[in-house]
Structure 1
Amino acid sequence: MALETNWKRVALGLLLAGCGGPSTPVPGTQNPGEAPKVDVGAPPSLAWVGGDTAFDDRLTTLDLSRWRASDGWVSSEDFNAGWRADHVRLTEGTLHLTLDTESCPEGCGGRPYASGEFASQRYHGYGRYEVRLKPARAPGTMTAFALTTGPFENTRWDEVGMAFLGKNPQQLRLTYISEGKRHDAATIDLPFDASESFHIYGLEWTRAALHWYVDGRRVHSETGFNGPLPVTPGRIVMNFWPGVGPATESWLGVFEYPGAPLTSGIQNIRHGPATPTDILEGFEAGNTAELWSPGHVDDGARVNLWQTDYGHQGRAMAMEYSVKANAHGAAERTFPSPMDWRGVRYLNFWFRGTATGDPFRLELRDNGPSPDKIERFEYRFQDDFVGWKWVSVPMTAFKRRTDWQPAGAPNDGLTLSAVRGLAFEPLGGDGRSVLFDDIQLER
């Protein structure tokens, strides 16, 4: 299954690369415009929105359909502890990440300590996040909350998060990465010692901005002025660990085990999407072949479809194709009855390719007097990335096809009032294979 992929190699790079000091601007990364105006003290701007990916987990149990604990490995040379699943412990209504001297399965990579880390099964993108947290006070350690994805997930490297250094839990470190470029957002001085009691730390992530909150009050904002914002959904990751080595210790501090276990505590994690978002097709059910079919395949084209367990989030649809010049073939789905998509602003999906450069057409079939007289609209994209790419298509980007329309199809623009189907069509390539996963409608 895809959920057993290499996420375990997460190293929380955004919290490792020189977290102790300010970042150096990278030429060409700053966006034009004014620096963000931080409305300090403002309440969250996003309401809690429900949907397929929303949750409010009080952590009375560790829901293994939502989370999984790391076990028996080490993130990188900067970590002086290996992960043990039993170091993610529930006690009296609190989930503890415990750091101690117990040995790990297979020896913890030779590290002298063991600790706890857990991550979400799903990837989460734009939306509102909150964690009720009490980090440990211990020089040389870090307690971190992040949304992260990158080469270890076969995606581009995007992250956003917040962290406490155990040497000074009266400061909150905020930072993000976009396409592998790190940006230190801010270091926030808190009016309390975070290690002494639980507080709520929040994050809002939209296409326009990142906002961080402490106990429901805004403390910092980023709008892309200091570097492009992340765009790729990532896993929620929480961990607690000691650093090792001169480079890490220069900003984290030197860790000395106090003789008894240390813990960081979590009591609640909550998430809601930025706007109502529904999964149109997750490819999880066993009827993909019934819903999707090779459509309008003519001479000079071949399209084969099947369901695979190696999706980005569970199962996916695989497409093998060969398309010669002026030939056509597609993976298409026709809805049993027209769907009202008015109010939908984006159509999102995961696409896995091998950077062949092959062009694709995403076709939207909207409105018409009968199923065979539907107006066709298109959006074109390329296989330009090795691995998984999150594709977010504004509905305004769909253009009416000028190369072909069925006889009798209307010409009244994209109404989205009676969507009858969609199709993925390769426009070239010989003997290629790609994957599609989690098609979403974002309102």
Structure 2
Amino acid sequence: MRVSRLSAATAALILSTQVSAQTYTDCNPREQTGCPADPALSGSASFDFTRGAQHNWTTSGTVTYSSSTGAGFTVANKGDSPLITSDFYIMWGHLEVVLQSAPGTGIVSSIVMQSDTLDEIDLEFLGGDASSVQTNYFGHGDTSEYNRAQTIAMSNNQHSFHTYTIDWTANMIVWQIDGTTVRSMSPATANSGQYPQTPMMIKIGIWAGGDPSNPSGTINWAGGTTDYSKGPFTMYCKSVSVIDYSTGSEYVYTSKSGTADSISAVGGSVDGNKAATASVATDASAATITSSGGEAPIPWSGTHRETSSWSTPNIWPWVSTATASITNSNPSSEHTTSGGGKLAPLTVSQKYFPVYFISASVVFGLLFPLWR
């Protein structure tokens, strides 16, 4: 029996949608084979958000831009959770973010490095406490222990900009604030098997951990229930600078081990940009650690799987309820590499393949009927 051209087009669209979903659905290389390769930064880049929206970042929710404060991330209503996510990954590297955190009880401002295997390195700011920042890490999304977080005392982070740095190598993770090391950790001092060691993307955003619909453990961790009538609550990010300590066009997992040894750099090498490794002090003696993770579980807001009854927010990683939008008051939306050039957007094959594939599939279905 002959199938109509419209039905053929529909079938082609369904097939192409499935292919698209397979390409862009989260894929954990420790659990699945054939996960998409991670596009590599392979070098260094600086992103100046005071000049507007930047290439190589995907926006979720509404982000505004101004020449004085850069990117603005605002929680005004329930469900608001604006986020920018890098379209590139780094395999060992250096991250600097110039940021002013948001005020507001229960409001959480976040800087996160995260891998496909759910390795994470985090900086979190609670809106009810302007004088501290929480540092944390996870390996493979393991939340069986909650003794990794450290809360660091600092000067007012809600009314002034500070430079937050994460330097990540095979030998050490260093957290810095305004050039001063506040925490460092080696594989030997990390929880067994939990040292982050797979290619990371970067996420910067804000969300309401104190939303009344969140689990009580999350609300307590976030500092209390959020009162939206006292908002809006806004975090600002002026700039982001990134160095990838590896080279190549993309990073591929060669096994399900989730270890650095399983990562292959296509057209380059892991640690191939080692000469660019930043010189950072690993001594954190100057930092004041006001609290460390203990036996009580901290409902940490990572994308890792939750293994206890203390649920993490279901809106992470800031899955916005609204369509992404950008308000840009600046004429320029460029960013520069360390050499002064412009880092080109990701290639068409990386960024727009699903759109082209769907379109081609529909046309094919209309032109060539299916026969049974």
- What TM-score do the two structures reach when normalised by structure 1? 0.47
Q: CA deviation at 1:351?
A: 3.2
Residue 195 of structure 1 aligns to a residue in which SS?
coil
Match of 2:301 in 1: none
Instruction: Find 1:69's aligned residue among 59, 62, 81.
Output: 59
Task: For 1:233, give the aligned amino acid.
Answer: P
Query: How do residues 276-291 of structure 1 correspond to structure 2 at under 5 angstroms?
Result: 277-279=246-248, 282=249
Q: Supply the distance in 1 between the matched residues of 2:27 and 2:204 (Cα, whole angstroms).
A: 12
Change (3 A) 1:91 1:53: same
Q: Secondary structure at the match of 2:268?
A: strand
Question: Partner of 1:80 in structure 2?
Answer: none
Tell me, which stretches of 5 or more residues in structure 2 are unaligned?
1-19, 29-40, 273-372
Trace 1:220-259 onto structure 2 (pairs within 5 A).
Answer: 220-224=183-187, 225-227=189-191, 228-243=194-209, 244-252=214-222, 253-259=224-230
- Residue 350 (str. 1) matches residue 252 (str. 2): yes
Q: Deviations over 1:48-86 (max 9, x none)?
A: xxx83411111122223x10012xxxxxxxxxxxxx2xx
Q: Return the offset for 1:2.
A: 9.0
Across the aligned residues of Structure 1 and Structure 2, the Cα RMSD in angstroms comes to 2.8
The alpha-carbon deviation at position 234 of structure 1 amounts to 1.6
Measure how far apart 1:188 and its partner are. Answer: 0.3
For the pair 1:165 / 2:184, whether they are aligned, the reply is no
Is 1:100 the equivalent of 2:76? yes
* Structure showing the higher helix proportion among its residues: 2
8 Å contact from structure 2 (residues 113, 200) kept in 1: yes
Which secondary structure does the structure 1 equivalent of 2:219 belong to? helix
Q: Which residue type is aligned with residue 88 of structure 2? A: R
Contact 2:104–2:231 (8 Å) recurs in 1 = no
Match of 2:88 in 1: 122
Residue number in structure 1 paired with 2:115: 149
Offset, 1:259: 4.4
Q: Distance in 1 between matches of 2:208 and 2:132?
A: 17
**Match of 1:128, SS?**
strand
Q: Return the offset for 1:113.
A: 3.3
* 1:139 partner letter: T
> Quick check: which one's strand share is greater?
1
| Deviation string, structure 1 residues 32-60 (Cα, Å, up to 9, x no partner) | xxxxxxxxxxxxxxxxxxx8341111112
Matches within 5 A, 1:19-30: none
What are the equivalent positions in structure 2 for 1:319-398 lying under 5 Å apart?
Answer: 349-351=251-253, 383-384=255-256, 392=261
What is the rounded CA distance, in whole Å, between the counterparts of 1:233 and 1:148 in structure 2?
A: 8
Deviations 1:382-402 (A, max 9, x none): x546xxx675479xxxxxxxx
The residue type equivalent to 1:62 in the other structure is A
Cα 1:7/1:133, change in 2 over 3 Å? farther
Q: Is the CA contact (8 Å cut-off) linking 2:206 and 2:235 kept in structure 1?
A: yes
Query: Which has the greater radius of gyration?
Result: 1
TM-score normalised over the length of structure 2: 0.56
Aligned twin of 1:270: 241
Structure 2 residue matching 1:258: 3-state secondary structure: helix
State the partner residue of 2:137.
Answer: 176
Higher relative contact order (CA 8 A, sep 6+): 2
Alignment check: 8 A CA contact 1:162 1:175 kept = yes
CA contact (8 A) 1:160 1:176 kept: yes
Q: Distance in 2 between matches of 1:121 and 1:63?
A: 11
Match of 1:187 in 2: 151
What SS does structure 2 have at the residue aligned with 1:147? strand
* Distance change >3 Å, CA 127–CA 384, structure 1 → 2: closer
- Pair 272,169 (structure 1): closer, same or farther in 2 beyond 3 Å: same
For residues 248 and 8 of structure 1, the distance between their equivalents in structure 2, rounded to whole angstroms, comes to 26
Identity %: 21
Deviation at 1:3, TM superposition (A): 11
Amino acid at match of 1:438: V
Q: Quick one: which amino acid aligns to residue 55 of structure 1?
A: A
> Is the partner of 1:250 in helix, strand or coil?
helix
Is residue 201–residue 215 contact of structure 1 (8 Å, CA) maintained in 2? yes
Is the CA contact (8 Å cut-off) linking 2:52 and 2:67 kept in structure 1?
no
The whole-number CA distance in structure 2 between the counterparts of 1:138 and 1:2 is 37
Residue 166 of structure 1: how far off its partner (Å):
0.8
Q: State the match for 1:90 in structure 2.
A: 65
| In structure 2, distance between residues paired with 1:247 and 1:392 | 37
Aligned to 1:56: 46
Query: Does structure 2 retain, via aligned residues, the 8 Å contact 1:350–1:391?
Result: no
Report if the CA contact (8 A) 1:351-1:391 is conserved: no
Runs of 4+ aligned structure 1 residues displaced above 6 Å come to 1-4
